[in-house]
A and B are shown apart, each in its own frame.
Chain A
Amino acid sequence: MFTLQVKRYGMLPEQLAQKVEMQFISVKDGLQVLAIQVRDTMRQNVINSIIRDGSTGNLVRAIEYYIEDNVGGGRTVGIGSIPELNYMAPYWYLVNYGGLSSIAARGESLYGYFGTMIAHGRPNASMRGVNVSGAKIATEKFTPMGQGGYRMTPTAPIAPKNYIEKTSNWLMGVIRIHYNGWLHRTKSFSI
């Protein structure tokens, strides 16, 4: 007669399921942290590329992260919503890729704002043309609603800031160090 002894090693299926679920939550949280970091890096890349005073900050504010839970448990993270960018900062595309603005392409002029280099300073006529590469500045003053402004005819292209590509470059470095493996297996990330 034999005595059969059955021993169980490892976790119960319920425990395993619980552990997997905990890790999944951890991955989800990690992805959200990464999304915030990517958003902040992209915003910083835009800020770093500002050349002169008087930025509205609209592009920086328009860059936000979005997280969507997919059917089946996956999670997608996106940085920047094109409709929102088009609404808040329609020049986002031109700033990133560079080129001639439509005004410059048509050879027209517009009223430019030339702020002082002092924070919250009033427009300063002596600053006209400063740091505006290639722009021809006329002396005709334009004062809608008391705001100082000067007509300018842009002729130089907008230099590409490539804030999207720079952020992508940074993200790939981060993935290479910290996230390689699970990110590629389980999640998608888009900029």
Chain B
Amino acid sequence: MSYFRVSRNVELSLLYYIETSLNADWTGITVVKTFKKAYHKDTALPIVCIRLSDTSAVRQEVGSDTLDSRYLLILDIFSTSDGQRLDLADYIKDKLKNGWIHYDHSHASGDNTTLTRIANGRDMVTEFTSDTKIEFGENVDERDQYRHTISVRARHTNS
């Protein structure tokens, strides 16, 4: 078995949480992990792109070898209208504020298409760092027309 490390698990846990929530409450929203996929011609709007952008860590206390890490997670929303952009942004913020289940992911050696998830604590948002419309002006690609970005700092707590 191949086991993923914490950073990757934080990213995949959020992706799974948002994807599951959107599938339950919305229709036709595509959730992707990479920017390249978001711009792929076969990926239909609206799209939510979720990625772990950066990590910062400090020692938990003086002399400790445990790191207290913060994960910078960025959620890009590509909508079909300005109203949908705002609705999706509000919905996602509402989902993020209470945190989500953290899963440890793994897959069988040689088979990275099927992931196994085991719950292991929660990921909590410590700060909402940005929540803003991305404006590229007029005459832009349809994906760039109604864009929004939300970035949060989150931490992982073990159960």
Contacts and interface: CB of A to CB of B under 8 A. Distances in A.
Interface of A: 93-94, 97-100, 102, 104-106, 156-157, 159-160, 162, 165-166, 168-170, 172-173, 176-177
Contact of B149 (A97, A159, A173): A97
B108 interface: no
A165 B39 contact: no
The DSSP consensus for interface residues of chain B is strand
Given A168-B129, A172-B70, A173-B58, A102 B147 contact: no
B36 A177 contact: no
B10 interface: no
Interface residues of B, number: 27
Contacts of B20: none
Interface of B: 35-36, 38-39, 53-54, 56-58, 70, 72, 74, 76, 127, 129-130, 134, 136, 139-141, 143-144, 147, 149, 151, 153
Given A165-B72, A177-B58, A100 B151 contact: no
Contacts of A170: 54, 56
The DSSP consensus for interface residues of chain A is helix
B35 A157 contact: yes
A97 to B, nearest CB: 5
